Structure 1
Amino acid sequence: MVRRVGESVEARLDAERERIALWLPVALGAGIAAWFALPTRTHWIGLLLVLGAGALAGLLIGWQRRFGRAVVVGCAVMALGLLLVWGRALWVSAPVLALPVVTEFSASVESVEPLPAKDQVRLIVRPLKRPDLPPRLRITAAGEQGKGIAPGEAIGLRARLMPPPTASLPGGYDFAQRAWFDRIGAVGTVLGDIGRAPGAGDGVQTLRARLSDHIHGQIDGSAGGIAAALVAGDRGAISEADEEAMRRSGLAHLLSISGLHVTAVVTFAMLIAMSLLALSRRLALAGYVLPLAAAVAALAGGGYTLLAGAEVPTLRSFIAALLVLIAFLLGREALTLRLVAAGALIVLIWRPESLAGPSFQLSFAAITAIVALHESRAMQRFMARREEPWVFRLGRGVAGLVITGLAVEVALAPIALFHFHKAGLYGALANVVAIPLTTFVIMPAEALALLFDSVGLGAPFWWVAEQALNGLIWLAHSVAEAPGAVATLPVFPPWGFGLAIFGGIWLLLWRTRWRWAGAVPLVLGMAVLLAQPRPDVLITGDGKHIAAAQPDGSYALLRERAGDYVRDAVAEAAGIDAPLAALTDLDHVACNRDFCRWTQDGRTILAARGRDRIEGADMAAACAAADVVISERWLPRECAGRWLTIDRDTLPQTGGLALYLGERPRAVTALGAGDEHMWRRPPQVSGNDEAVPTTSLAR
């Protein structure tokens, strides 16, 4: 039986021999993902030993057999992925602020990110002569406070600093993880004015900043913000309402410089270069037009990447564009899954931590789905050129765009639901209009406007770009406000997401009939996602904000003055797309100055809302009658719930919580017990060096 199975697998692999190499980045990514998923060093070392045993088993199967080689190489590459991200996490190690502090210090400005829509400026700074502070900080200043500050400038300031925040609720965005790999040890807000070195003036802004300012001077509001985002990667001037509409309509990918934008720049640069170089008979006859045009396109793509800030998505897209150009020059098919796999390998080796972010997952899922779809025989037959009226040809092209958009939406839906707990349902249709509008109207108009601005004739092109951008914003709002435009899901287990991703990859990478075996884990994973119940109670990591589910599917907050950030985090974790009510306004909730009590799914919940000290003896009876007691403060020993007690002693270990009540209650925590990842137990500094004098710059 075992021998028969082995022979069957060997035959399958032999039939798919040209596709086996596509699994190298998958194996590397699996090792990286395993390191993020497993909590302790014991688990990481144990997995390495298991993979070593697997490699030995592959050698026993036989190196001369494809199955044996696949097992050996797969285990080795997966182990390499785990070691790669582990080593990277150790390499970037930097101290993190232990507790919130208010302090004065001088610093060198590393980067400046204007946020005009919020009237803020975000600074990355390096404190000077303050060993008690982390070596790299992210500071937010009000618009006037940070006006004119440029990278490289020395400043003095007073700021409220705090450690990088973890996810406030289970399944939420964990900034502490990203901050660790970015070596940011604290975040904070500027208090008062920022002192600047004498003669600093308005500073020397970077080319990117000057270009963004120029674009904002030509186009106002969110339209100007999107224009700056397309050229320089600066999204700070886009209003929250317009950015949310772009997300809900499935058009948010247009705001992040990635494959679409880099491809457009490289393509137009190459076409223009070929047209100009072909005017030279000597170059054309010598066969230099194509390689020179490719070189010009590569330089244009590289310049655009640097101009846009060289963020990971942009660099990833530029690497893919270079690989396409190389394949084009070698006479190979320009866009294949091998190219996608090569790009994924380069990015994962260069920045292994990027695998955990939605940007990497969304972009590579999209391009893999597009290439796999257009490599399929059915799609090739449908899109093949043929003699037919132009109306049919146009209709076939539009149908191809819709089919491609639907394939991308299906591929991206699990990723969007896992990271953001929502996914746009009409994105495929919206992108049929938005992508051609951006590629063939907005970006060329902006490029021509910037070119003709050098002689003062760019105004007509700016007008065209502004009208097209306003049309794009109108499209985003129209789609976002359509009934059923957004699907939402609550927090769900990562293993279900992993099953869905593995099944999707299996379906996309193989070509023979056994590819359909991937439908099993895909369906199981999606079933887990769709069947996940909504949490009955959500508690943020600081214990201040509590949201309770209502019979109609909505949620109500204990503190109705909660800000937009808290409301958005609660709505995402709950998987709802509706406003949050006030818990104190509900009939079944009894509140006094200090506590609110209500019954939910047969469980009594007691939540503290006041700040006055209460003696333990006065609380004992009320706590004993409750199944769950929640407080942001320390609770006396006499106050203990029948099932669960949450206070300032427990919250640092659990973080935010999602409670599922009923016959078998359970609690899901944002922080895993015993988690040994570096950002959970970082080296710390106090931020209270009283011996260091206040810099004269801050006076």
Structure 2
Amino acid sequence: MPLATVSLLAWIVVLLCKGRGVLWPFLLVALIASGLTTAKIRTDLLDVGALKRKVGPVELSGRVISVEAREMGARIVLEDLKGPELPVSELPTRIRISLRDGWQEIRPGYRVTVLTMLLPPARPAFPGGFDFARNAYFQGIGAVGFSFGKPLLVARAHGGDNHTDLAIWLATARQSLSARVRGVLPGDTGALAAALMTGDRGAISPESTQAMRDAGLAHLLAISGLHLGLIAGLVFGGLRALFALLPFFALRAPIKKIAAVAAAPVAFSYLLLVGSSIPAERAFIMVLLALVAVLIDRSPISLRLVGAAALVVLFLRPESLVSASFQLSFAAVVALIAVFEKPEGRQVRATRQPGLSALGVPIRYLAVLSITSVVAIVATTPFALHHFGRFAVYGLLANLIAVPLMAFGIMPLVLLALLLAPFTADAWILKLMAILLELLLTVAHYVASLPGAVVKIPSLPTLPLVVIAVAGLWLCIWRRPWRYIALPIILLSLGAPLSRTPPDIIIDESADLVALRGPNGHYGFSTLRRQTFERQIWMEALGSQSVFAWDEKGDRNDWLSCDGLGCLYRKDGWPVAISFDGRGLEEDCRRAALVISLEPVRSAHCDDIPSDRLFDRFDFWRNGTHAFWLDAQRASVTYRTVESLRGLRPWSGGPD
């Protein structure tokens, strides 16, 4: 209510001050308060009933909402849950379960029974890292798990409200089409074709997915503006060209506007088929507004379109503001429109000019494509560094080959295959598409294999990213010379990771994985055989590539020494005890300035050390992964935990 009240009062002041110089501060307050109010309402309305503790094995029955094929099995989402072993109050609204076998015959709408182990959605693996529980919450998923054996089909019929029935029908169509495509085209080629036609990317192998990322082509896997824009553009341009071949009709009817009207439902159908992801929604809204601009004889390339699309997306899904897909897609589009809506930009992108030779057209197209790729890469790099901590060095080279291949070859075949799919006459189109998809994968794997294809750096912190986003908007929106004030601000903010001091000690929430930073900056791990997922996330966040295990390298007498009871880690001569066994804890507390016990400290073995210098397994279990910074000169310890940075949210709170 306070947020809503501030928002309402601010909007009243804005209306009263219209036309006066004091409008902008109140407008800013009104927009921010409205955004916060919308976010709060959206969060409270979800109420997914997140699971608080590990449960199982337990037998549950539920209605299948979606089936997502993976390289090894599938993931299904169930709702309307019933379980004799759990009270209704403990059952989440929806759960997501991983299956190994028996999923091929399951369709959305079926009711199944499965023996499963349920877990709360995972919290971040690193302080300030990606929050899996938050992501699951806004997907309406309150628990995740895995099954024991095959699911048992209870009933094929389904019932529900009209919205649920439509969602199930679309999910069924998506699954059937994906299965058909992968049946015609096996391997990664079929999985990639299914991703472009239905948005189902789960079956693409990790190797090909990683190659696309390292080559800077990951945006081709996510249905976004490129795909929806090409689909709408193909329909719009194709119908307009077809109508132009009919002089009687073309001279008497507004064929451009008719083509725009016809392109809109095709784009909407494609959006429904591939699922309403944030990039797809943003792209559809912009395509729709561009088509409306054609109908009213306005320019379809304008930052106003981006602003309108952002307002609609944030009103429907305010949580998308902090997602990678929202930030990357809008950053690229804002930068591209800011460049090409200028007179110089319009001159560059105009391919039909008097005196332009036949050779000049492809050269100009290549120049426009190069500028587009450079602008998009520059605009999205800060956000990619924040979310992924990596930069694809040869992304421009890969995009110069892959984008024309996608625009002029693959996407027209995708549109044709979708039109022929209801008649099961798309097999020959798919086989033709496979040739181009193989070429695309070959480009991705080749570019990703080049020396130095990926540069890993520590993730860009949130505050510098916000500064870069505001400065970038300042640079793109204004047209006066003062816009260039933003450039040094952006450059200085990009250097923030270089000034960050990486943590000296990292311990995961289960106390099963410990990382220690050596004098050379490389991290030594307690094990390289377990907790591989957590280790990978840590290294991405820290931008580190060289790791080793203690048991492989042995003791380092100058900074690390271990025995059967624990290890003694020295930072500039400052001792830190890492205890594996409580029998050595009392001695550790006498000798070390900081004591980290991987076992619970149940009795007063450590009277010689302050409580803020002693951490045990319960601390890690309660507050998540810990990262420690040691300052030997000041004899101080600074640490951050997952829970301290998450805050108190409906999806947080740690274990029950």
Verify the 8 A CA contact 1:414 1:497 in the aligned structure 2. yes
- For 1:215-266, what per-residue CA distance to the aligned partner results, in whole angstroms no more than 9, with x for missing partners? 1112121121111111100111111111011112111111111111111111
Structure 2 Cα separation of the partners of residues 139 and 457 of structure 1? 34
Question: Which residue number in structure 2 is paired with residue 128 of structure 1?
Answer: 82
Change in 2 beyond 3 A, CA 1:141/1:77? closer
Question: Which residue number in structure 1 is paired with residue 317 of structure 2?
Answer: 351
Residue 214 of structure 1: CA displacement? 1.1
- The range that moved more, 399-408 or 137-146, is 137-146
One of 621, 635, 647 as aligned partner of 1:675: 647
Residue type of the alignment partner of 1:607: I
Verify the 8 A CA contact 1:490 1:535 in the aligned structure 2. no
Correspondences of 1:416-435 after superposition (within 5 Å): 416-435=384-403
- The range that moved more, 355-364 or 218-227, is 218-227
Structure 2 Cα separation of the partners of residues 629 and 48 of structure 1? 49
1:93 equivalent in alignment to 2:61: no
Residue type of the alignment partner of 1:408: A
Question: Which residue number in structure 2 is paired with residue 507 of structure 1?
Answer: 475
Question: Which residue number in structure 2 is paired with residue 592 of structure 1?
Answer: 563
Residue type of the alignment partner of 2:470: F
Structure 2 Cα separation of the partners of residues 268 and 56 of structure 1? 45
Residue 476 of structure 1: CA displacement? 1.4
1:646 equivalent in alignment to 2:615: yes
Verify the 8 A CA contact 2:127 2:645 in the aligned structure 1. no
One of 428, 444, 452 as aligned partner of 1:484: 452
1:581 equivalent in alignment to 2:548: yes
1:208 equivalent in alignment to 2:174: yes
Verify the 8 A CA contact 1:59 1:72 in the aligned structure 2. no
1:622 equivalent in alignment to 2:577: no
Residue type of the alignment partner of 1:79: A
Question: Which residue number in structure 1 is paired with residue 144 of structure 2?
Answer: 187
Correspondences of 1:238-387 after superposition (within 5 Å): 238-278=204-244, 283-384=249-350, 385-387=353-355
Change in 2 beyond 3 A, CA 1:330/1:537? same
Structure 1 Cα separation of the partners of residues 542 and 646 of structure 2? 26
Residue 316 of structure 1: CA displacement? 2.0
One of 578, 593, 597 as aligned partner of 1:607: 578
Structure 1 Cα separation of the partners of residues 45 and 155 of structure 2? 37
Structure 2 Cα separation of the partners of residues 381 and 78 of structure 1? 37
Change in 2 beyond 3 A, CA 1:281/1:499? same
Structure 2 Cα separation of the partners of residues 314 and 357 of structure 1? 14
CA RMSD of aligned residues (A): 3.1
Question: Which residue number in structure 2 is paired with residue 660 of structure 1?
Answer: 629
Question: Which residue number in structure 1 is paired with residue 104 of structure 2?
Answer: 147
Residue type of the alignment partner of 1:193: K
Question: Which residue number in structure 2 is paired with residue 25 of structure 1?
Answer: none
Structure 1 Cα separation of the partners of residues 545 and 355 of structure 2? 48
- Any idea what SS the aligned residue of 2:148 has? strand
- Any idea what SS the aligned residue of 1:649 has? helix
Question: Which residue number in structure 2 is paired with residue 107 of structure 1?
Answer: 61
Verify the 8 A CA contact 1:106 1:154 in the aligned structure 2. no
Structure 2 Cα separation of the partners of residues 313 and 674 of structure 1? 25
Change in 2 beyond 3 A, CA 1:542/1:497? farther
Structure 1 Cα separation of the partners of residues 609 and 637 of structure 2? 14
Verify the 8 A CA contact 2:594 2:614 in the aligned structure 1. yes
Structure 1 Cα separation of the partners of residues 28 and 641 of structure 2? 33
- For 1:368-409, what per-residue CA distance to the aligned partner results, in whole angstroms no more than 9, with x for missing partners? 111111123443444453524333443332122222211211
Residue 675 of structure 1: CA displacement? 2.2
- Any idea what SS the aligned residue of 2:650 has? coil
Structure 2 Cα separation of the partners of residues 199 and 374 of structure 1? 53
Structure 1 Cα separation of the partners of residues 410 and 335 of structure 2? 26
Residue 416 of structure 1: CA displacement? 0.9
- For 1:68-111, what per-residue CA distance to the aligned partner results, in whole angstroms no more than 9, with x for missing partners? 11111111111111111012111112322121110433332342
Structure 2 Cα separation of the partners of residues 474 and 310 of structure 1? 29
Unaligned regions of 5+ residues in structure 2, if any? 159-167
Structure 1 Cα separation of the partners of residues 119 and 152 of structure 2? 21
Question: Which residue number in structure 2 is paired with residue 496 of structure 1?
Answer: 464
- Any idea what SS the aligned residue of 2:439 has? helix
Residue type of the alignment partner of 1:501: A
- The range that moved more, 133-142 or 354-363, is 133-142
Structure 2 Cα separation of the partners of residues 628 and 377 of structure 1? 63
Question: How high is the TM-score relative to the length of structure 2?
Answer: 0.88
- The range that moved more, 179-188 or 627-636, is 627-636
Structure 2 Cα separation of the partners of residues 312 and 238 of structure 1? 21
Residue 320 of structure 1: CA displacement? 1.2
Structure 1 Cα separation of the partners of residues 599 and 294 of structure 2? 64
Correspondences of 1:406-445 after superposition (within 5 Å): 406-445=374-413
Change in 2 beyond 3 A, CA 1:453/1:494? closer
Question: Which residue number in structure 1 is paired with residue 193 of structure 2?
Answer: 227
Structure 2 Cα separation of the partners of residues 526 and 559 of structure 1? 33
Residue type of the alignment partner of 1:323: L
Verify the 8 A CA contact 1:490 1:573 in the aligned structure 2. yes
Question: Which residue number in structure 2 is paired with residue 562 of structure 1?
Answer: 530
Structure 1 Cα separation of the partners of residues 595 and 107 of structure 2? 50
Change in 2 beyond 3 A, CA 1:54/1:627? farther
Give the count of matched residue pairs: 631
Residue 198 of structure 1: CA displacement? 5.9
- For 1:538-581, what per-residue CA distance to the aligned partner results, in whole angstroms no more than 9, with x for missing partners? 22233221122234443221122124412321211221234x31
Question: Which residue number in structure 2 is paired with residue 9 of structure 1?
Answer: none
Residue 439 of structure 1: CA displacement? 1.7
Change in 2 beyond 3 A, CA 1:565/1:486? same
